[in-house]
Amino acid sequence: MGLLDKQFTDDNIIITKVEDLLNWARLSSLWQMGFGLACCAIEMMATSASHYDFDRFGVIPRPSPRQSDVIIISGTVTFKMAIRIKRLYEQMPDHKYVISMGSCSNCGGPYWEHGYHVLKGVDRVIPVDVYVPGCPPRPEALLEGLLKLQEKIRNETLVSKTA
Amino acid sequence: MALKTEEMVLNMGPQHPSTHGVLRLELVIEGEIIKNVTPHIGYLHRCFEKHCEVMTYPQIIPYTDRMDYLASMCNEFGYVVAVERLMGIEVPERVEYIRVIMAELQRIASHLVAIGTYGADIGAFTPFLFCFRDREKILNLFEITCGARLLYNYIWIGGVMHDLHPDFIRLTKEFIKEFRPNLKELNDLLTFNQIFIDRTANVGILPAETAINYGITGPNLRASGVNWDLRINDPYSIYDRFDFKIPVGKGENGTVGDCWNRYYMRILEMEESLKIVEQAINQIPDGDVSSAIPKRVKPPAGQIYSRVENPRGELGYFIVSDGSVNPTRIKVRAPSFVNMVVFGELCKGHMVADVVAILGSIDIVLGEIDR
């Protein structure tokens, strides 16, 4: 509780909005689905490993879609894989978020023209919250994408998902 | 009284943390014993060979990067060597040295990922963090050289993109100095850890004869006791100038060709790669790196098969040229794909939990299997 530490003089009662509390809880423990697709997955692993350390933002890899809040589409989505990705997304519990990592999952990347087996953007099968550009994006770029997602969650209301 | 058992089909992947990407395995099991394994591939088919038909020769280099994305430099190296042989280009000395340094650093980086993820697969998470810490240092060296961390497009036909950074030699020396003790630390932590040995020794034994019959190459073949490395047996570039040994599996903790042996080969190879890098940075001559880059890459009509030793085995390019700026056909002999073939054979009769250990020890990269 770094933000609220030593902020109180006597009784520790906080008055806040339900929305703010829920949003704060959601954005501080975004469990990520540990799911690698292609080259970007290596950068995703590097982001979660010692040097860049995802965990300090509350992002912990989970092996199952049923336990995760955010799915990072890290790499080229092929037609054969697109069906599986859609199903994995549907298995995640609600409030779920999608980060599209890298050019391939944004728009097809280097395979946009002749890749007869490559889906030209994962947003054709599932809704995407944050697009991270790059081929592959640097770990810093992925972290920036994550911070953008947290910003987005912070502004959510109970009435509608996107503020 | 023997219990009556029934065969069961268990699906593993394509979304599974231990399949190293998007591989799907169909396991036929009886109780906990594997009866049969059918790998299903093609979840990452990115149409490499189709792209080669419409791209020019230099344009293909970035696509070779994306095949085996853990060893991009080595992929480029192999492709570039093949095209240069087809065109008969002589490459300046300095370029050859730079290429060897890059390829060997890449080999270390690739093996570090293989070892780190192998540890994580079978339950040791700390070595993963140790390996990635060291790998970041190699990536920093690549980054000051060409600006990219993972996919470089650095080695060009007839040369390299541009010369080394002035600090490169100093930083590489520092890295080697730092890395040697780290490797020992890794050995103490994982390699000779009794729990790890119990988990991997005598599991997934690949006899030398089977390995040769299946066409296995790279560390997996050498772990079976076969002394075969293209850097020695079919030298390309300037590998004949360096003094290094080819580690061969001896079965220190179990049988020759088991999972632990395959894992240990990678540790030993990293040490040998360090030796090559050390010699190369001490011998590297001055000179121009772009003098032999052709303005227009137009090989004469003909065909060539050229192979190099990738971290995962023999990477071969078969190029058919009709004399135009586009190749007619490029076929890639991907080491991961060939090594994967023996997987079903290795798993038979083992427990379900050993599938992960065997798969990790073969060290596949799905980008290369599916291409």
Q: Collect all residues of chain B within an 8 Å Cβ-Cβ radius of residue A50.
A: 129-130, 132-133, 136
Stretch B274-289: mean pLDDT, rounded?
90
- Residues contacting B107, CB < 8 A, separation 6+: B71, B74, B269, B270, B273, B311
Q: What angle, 0 to 180 degrees and rounded to 10, lies between the N-to-C axes of helices B168-186 and B93-121?
A: 30
- Residues contacting A143, CB < 8 A, separation 6+: A47, A52, A54, A57
- pLDDT class for B162, splitting at 50, 70, 90? confident
Dihedral sign for Cα B60, A110, A77, B13, please: positive
- The structure tokens listed for B171 are 């930083």
- Tens digits of per-residue pLDDT, B103-136? 999 999 999 999 999 998 888 888 999 999 999 9
Cβ atoms of B34 and B46 within 8 Å: the answer is: no
Q: Which of A43, A78, A126 to mutate to test the interface with B (most CBs of B within 10 A)?
A: A78
Q: Give per-residue burial for A37-76: e unless 16+ CB within 10 Å, then b.
A: bbbbbbbbbbbbbbebebeebbbebbeebeebbbbbbbbb
Q: Is A22 on the interface with B (CB under 8 A)?
A: no
Closest partner residue to B46 (CB to CB) among A42, A61, A76 is A76
What CA–CA distance (Å, rounded) separates B195 from B249?
20
- Tens digits of per-residue pLDDT, B2-52? 777 788 898 887 887 777 778 888 999 888 888 889 989 888 898 888 899
**What stretch of H or E contains B162?**
none
Stretch B318-329: mean pLDDT, rounded?
90
Q: Collect all residues of chain A within an 8 Å Cβ-Cβ radius of residue B152.
A: none
Q: How far is B180 from chain A (nearest CA, A)?
A: 19
Q: Collect all residues of chain B within an 8 Å Cβ-Cβ radius of residue A138.
A: 149
Per-domain residue ranges for chain B?
44-370
The CATH fold assigned to B44-370 is Cytochrome-c3 Hydrogenase; chain B (1.10.645)
**Nearest Cα to A47, choosing from A159, A123, A156, A147?**
A147
Q: How far is A117 from chain B (nearest CA, A)?
A: 6
- From residue B161, alpha-carbon distances to B30, B155, B166 in Å are 55, 6, 15
- pTM metric for this prediction: 0.91
The DSSP bridge partners found for residue B234 are: none
Average pLDDT of the residues of chain A: 86
Cβ atoms of A136 and A40 within 8 Å: the answer is: yes
